[in-house]
């Protein structure tokens, strides 16, 4: 069966990562959490006291930093490795959430990570979630979904995630953080968060994860059926005769 790229974009805490992981597992595809990559850079800069406006030091850091994903055999999930060390839990902390959007607007950071993401998915057969996957990283993705949800619902989900890791944050603080990130992500000059013209909108406010996964899988099935019917060869862009 031909392999495609599935791009899932949208706002924070809409269920993008959980949905993307489940879709990838169902299809036997690779899963790439691009948001984790930006969080890793943020953690790297904070730990080394590199100011977000110190562009020469940031560019040097981007040459030195090594980001990869390693599968945890016990949990079955991909975990982010920063310079060979698993830092999955640390990059999910609120202090990283408070700064990641500021790091994400830096052009050098975006250019470096976009190139890396494109290399990771060059053979296709991948589910990638983030904020600019369907618009910048893979504008030719066969399936594009843009996820949104009510900000209070998103904040409650985020609060539950943090509490599960023994980090307790006031709901109003999370709402403020999400609104700040939404504004920065949507108004930045470099690859702003926006819905691609051909992306299907998915509002997850009143949906459980299983429903979200089914929604995406239905789009994947329709795309694969359409490609098979057309006899489309993605690599050449021509019909197979």
Calpha distance 183→216 (Å, rounded):
26
As a whole number of angstroms, the distance between CA 127 and CA 143 comes to 9
3-state helix, strand, coil split of the chain in percent (to 5) is 50, 15, 35
- Annotated binding residue 134: no
3-state secondary structure of 178: helix
Has 186 been labeled as part of a binding site?
A: no
Question: Distance (Å, rounded) from C-alpha 186 to C-alpha 194?
Answer: 7
User: Residue 95 in contact with residue 102, Cβ under 8 Å?
Assistant: no
**For residues 20 and 31, is the Cβ–Cβ distance under 8 A?**
yes
Cα–Cα distance, 225 to 219 (Å, whole number): 10
How many residues appear in the chain? 241
13 is in an annotated binding site: yes
Q: Which two tokens stand for residue 182?
A: 């939404």
12 is in an annotated binding site: yes
84 labeled binding residue:
no
Q: Hey, what are 121's tokens?
A: 């998915």
Q: Answer yes or no: is 11 a known binding residue.
A: yes
Was 15 annotated as part of a binding site?
yes
Give me the half-sphere count of Cα atoms (radius 13 Å) on the Cβ side of residue 160: 8
Binding residue positions: 10-18
Binding residue positions for ATP: 10-18
């Amino acid at each position: 069966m031909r392999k495609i790229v599935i791009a899932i974009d949208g706002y924070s805490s809409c269920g993008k990562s959980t949905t993307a992981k489940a879709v990838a597992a169902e299809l036997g595809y690779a899963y790439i959490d691009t948001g984790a990559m930006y969080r890793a850079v943020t953690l790297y800069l904070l730990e080394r006291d590199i100011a977000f406006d110190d562009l020469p030091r940031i560019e040097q850091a981007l040459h030195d930093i090594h980001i990869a994903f390693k599968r945890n055999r016990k949990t079955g999930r991909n975990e982010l490795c920063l310079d060979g060390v698993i830092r999955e839990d640390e990059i999910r902390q609120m202090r990283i959430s408070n700064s990641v959007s500021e790091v994400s607007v830096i052009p050098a950071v975006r250019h470096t990570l976009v190139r890396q993401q494109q290399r990771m998915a060059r053979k296709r057969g991948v589910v990638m979630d983030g904020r600019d996957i369907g618009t910048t990283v893979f504008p030719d993705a066969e399936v594009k979904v843009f996820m949104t949800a009510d900000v209070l619902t998103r904040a409650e989900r985020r609060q539950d995630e943090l509490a599960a890791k023994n980090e307790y944050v006031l709901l109003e603080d999370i709402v403020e953080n999400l609104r700040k990130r939404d504004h920065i992500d949507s108004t930045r000059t470099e690859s702003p968060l926006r819905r691609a013209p051909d992306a299907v909108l998915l509002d997850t406010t009143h949906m459980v994860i299983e429903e979200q996964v089914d929604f995406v899988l239905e789009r994947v099935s329709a795309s694969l059926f359409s490609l098979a019917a057309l006899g489309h060869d993605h690599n050449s862009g021509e019909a197979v005769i």
